[in-house]
């Protein structure tokens, strides 16, 4: 059994994760998503509390006591004769119980405003979960492509090392034949060493990118991680950053809900200027004998009905000040909504321009890579026939390496720019998470 568990463990550790797998893990494990979901639970509790405003309140009380009264002198007078009576000390049990029922009849619409506000607050909390999920997904996508870029760059350096080692073997063979000098061998050995150093440095970049992706997914930094692209992505396409195209953005939708909440706050505070009407019923029983308190309910009782009307006349301008504060909050949210819209439009515009720029760069790089490959083939041919030098061969090899690295950089920068464009337009999850997601 233990061997089976160990085998399963290592298989799980060696599993290759695609982008969608990383997104699913992040949405399940990232602590920011969990915290936003707790906000929904709190909003649900607030909504339940708000609904209590229009429900009656019932209180039941039971009281048991002991009354000890000392000796007293009392004077009585009938207008002509006064006489004094001495009342001896006494003691008795007291038993009582009752209930009090109160109902809010009218409060200027405050209780209904509270319910509406709680409903909108719950909608905003649920939307906050979606905002957090999209933000986390954007971070995971960027970290995923950064790791792929680092791995591809490592592969380029490894291929460069293979070329350098082949060139070193060729120079050593030519030295044996007397066609090259020891200086050429030393230069080839330096080239091999430089490529090895570049590989070691790139390994550090890869490990750092793995740590970053693990953290974005909500995993431990030291967890084993292997990733790969599931299928080749479709070419990046730009999307115009119009106002209408930004309406799906979750942050803007959340701000619209916040604006509605602040307007409800103004109405809620204003309702305190209206009169409030409450009704209540109280029933109570009290007697020294216990059984008489809890029997013969049609006797020995007190029943009270109240109808209270409260008119707010003056509160030291407190309500006016609170309304002004709430209206200022409405204005702030309006300006914040405009600022965020401008920021998102700028972000989408930058992503669109980056995609166009990177597309042009990619076409140029394809030509450069082809030319660098031809240059390397000619340099190798010239070197083979003794017309070229080892330095020319090394320069051609470096040109190919630089062209490959540049192509890798452009390819994954374009993927990240495309993701940022989707994120600005509010449809990131639709493009990258094909499975059902809440």
381 and 284 in a common domain: no
> Which pLDDT value is given to residue 235?
47
Helix (H, G, I), strand (E, B) or coil at 353: helix
Per-residue pLDDT, averaged over 82-98, amounts to 76
The total of structural domains in the chain comes to 2
Say if 26 falls within a structural domain: no
Burial class (CB in 10 A: 0-12, 13-18, 19+), 263: middle
Report residue 90 as tokens.
Answer: 């006494």
Cβ–Cβ contacts within 10 Å for residue 59, how many?
10
Domain hosting residue 252, numbered range: 109-274+323-430
Tokens of 269: 């505070």
Q: Which residue among 311, 333, 361 closes a domain?
A: 311
| Residue 179 counted as domain residue | yes
In a domain, 240, yes or no: yes
Is the domain of 145 the same as that of 260? yes
Cα separation, 107 vs 268, whole angstroms: 10
The answer on 389 and 256 residing in a single domain is yes
**What confidence tier does 385 reach under pLDDT thresholds 50, 70, 90?**
confident
Digit-coded pLDDT (tens) for 373-382: 888 888 888 8
Per-residue model confidence (pLDDT) at position 148: 95
Q: Which of 285, 311, 337 is the last residue of a domain?
A: 311
384 and 291 share a domain? no
Position 294 in a domain: yes
CA dist 77 and 223 (Å) reads: 97
- 127 belongs to a structural domain: yes
- Decide: pTM greater than 0.85: no
Handedness of CA 338, 126, 46, 30 (dihedral sign): negative
Neighbouring-strand partners of residue 285: 97, 301
Backbone angles phi, psi at 70, to 5 degrees: -75, 175
Judge whether 438 lies within some domain.
no
Whether 289 and 412 share a structural domain:
no
Strands 276-287 and 90-106, by their bridges, are antiparallel
281 and 356 co-located in one domain: no
295 lies in the same domain as 377:
no
Tell me: do 425 and 285 sit in the same domain: no
List the structure tokens of 27.
């949405």
pLDDT tens profile 221-275: 999 999 988 765 544 454 544 455 677 788 888 889 899 999 988 988 888 888 9
Q: Both 270 and 293 in a single domain? A: no
Q: Are 413 and 236 in contact (CB under 8 A)?
A: no
To the nearest whole number, what is the mean pLDDT of the chain? 84
CATH number of 215's domain: 1.20.1600.10
Burial class (CB in 10 A: 0-12, 13-18, 19+), 145: buried
pLDDT of residue 324: 92
- 132-136-139 Cα angle (round to 5): 145
74 contacts: CB under 8 Å, gap ≥ 6: 84, 85, 86, 87
Which one of 265, 285, 311 terminates a domain? 311
Residue 42 pLDDT level (bands cut at 50, 70, 90): very high
Strands 90-106 and 72-77: unpaired
Q: What is the DSSP string of 66-78?
A: EEEE--EEEEEE-
Helix (H) or strand (E) holding 295: none
pLDDT attached to residue 241: 46
**What percent of the chain stands above pLDDT 70?**
89
Assess whether 244 and 363 both reside in one domain: yes
Residue pair 121/251 in contact (Cβ under 8 Å)? The answer is: no
Question: Which pair of tokens denotes residue 128?
Answer: 């906050």
Residue 199 within any structural domain of the chain: yes
293 Cα distance to chain centroid: 59
Asked if residues 412 and 236 have their Cβ atoms less than 8 Å apart, the reply is no
Show the 3-state SS of 121-142. Answer: HHHHHHHHHHHHHHHHHHHHHH
Same-domain check for residues 224 and 290: no
Q: Is 385 helix (H, G, I), strand (E, B) or coil?
A: coil
Do 410 and 335 sit in the same domain of this protein?
A: yes
Instruction: State mean pLDDT over 170-184.
Output: 77
Confidence check: pLDDT of 7 > 50: no
Position 18 in a domain: no
Which of the residue ranges 43-57, 290-304, 324-338 would you say has the lowest mean pLDDT? Answer: 290-304
């Amino acid at each position: 059994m233990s061997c089976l568990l160990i085998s399963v463990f290592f298989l799980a550790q060696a599993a290759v994760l695609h982008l969608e797998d990383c997104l699913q893990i992040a949405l399940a494990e990232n602590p920011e998503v969990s915290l936003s979901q707790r906000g929904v639970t709190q909003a649900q509790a607030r909504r339940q509390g708000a609904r209590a405003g229009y429900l009656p309140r019932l209180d039941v009380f039971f009281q048991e006591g002991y009354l000890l009264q000392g000796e007293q002198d009392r004077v009585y007078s009938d207008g002509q004769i006064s006489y004094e009576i001495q009342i001896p000390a006494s003691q008795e049990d007291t038993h009582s119980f009752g209930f009090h029922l109160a109902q809010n009849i009218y409060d200027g619409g405050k209780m209904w405003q509270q319910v509406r506000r709680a409903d909108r607050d719950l909608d905003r909390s649920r939307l906050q979960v979606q905002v957090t999920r999209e933000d986390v997904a954007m971070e995971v996508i960027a970290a995923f492509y950064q790791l792929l870029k680092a791995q591809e760059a490592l592969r380029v350096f490894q291929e460069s090392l293979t070329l350098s080692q082949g060139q070193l073997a060729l120079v050593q063979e030519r030295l044996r034949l007397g066609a090259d000098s020891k200086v050429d061998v030393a230069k080839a050995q330096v080239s091999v060493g430089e490529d090895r150093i570049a590989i070691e440095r790139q390994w550090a970049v890869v490990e750092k990118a793995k740590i970053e992706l693990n953290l974005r997914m909500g995993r431990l930094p030291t967890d084993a991680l292997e990733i790969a692209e599931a299928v080749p992505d479709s070419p990046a396409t730009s999307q115009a950053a119009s106002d209408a195209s930004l309406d799906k953005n979750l942050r803007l939708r959340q701000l619209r809900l916040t604006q509605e909440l602040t307007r409800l706050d103004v109405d809620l505070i204003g309702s305190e200027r209206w009169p409030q009407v409450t009704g209540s019923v109280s029933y109570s029983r009290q007697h020294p004998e216990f059984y008489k308190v809890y029997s013969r309910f049609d006797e020995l009782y007190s029943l009270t009905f109240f109808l209270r009307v409260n008119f707010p006349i003056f509160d030291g301008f407190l309500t006016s000040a609170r309304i002004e504060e709430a209206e200022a909050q409405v204005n702030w949210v309006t300006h914040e909504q405009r600022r965020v819209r401008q920021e998102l439009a700028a972000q989408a515009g930058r992503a669109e321009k980056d995609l166009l720029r990177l597309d042009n760069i990619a076409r140029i790089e394809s030509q450069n890579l082809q030319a660098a490959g031809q240059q390397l083939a000619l340099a190798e041919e010239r070197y083979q026939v003794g017309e070229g030098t080892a330095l020319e061969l090394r320069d051609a090899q470096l040109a190919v390496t630089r062209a490959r690295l540049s192509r890798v950089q452009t390819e994954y920068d374009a993927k990240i720019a495309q993701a940022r464009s989707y994120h600005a337009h509010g449809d990131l999850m639709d493009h990258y998470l094909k499975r059902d997601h809440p």
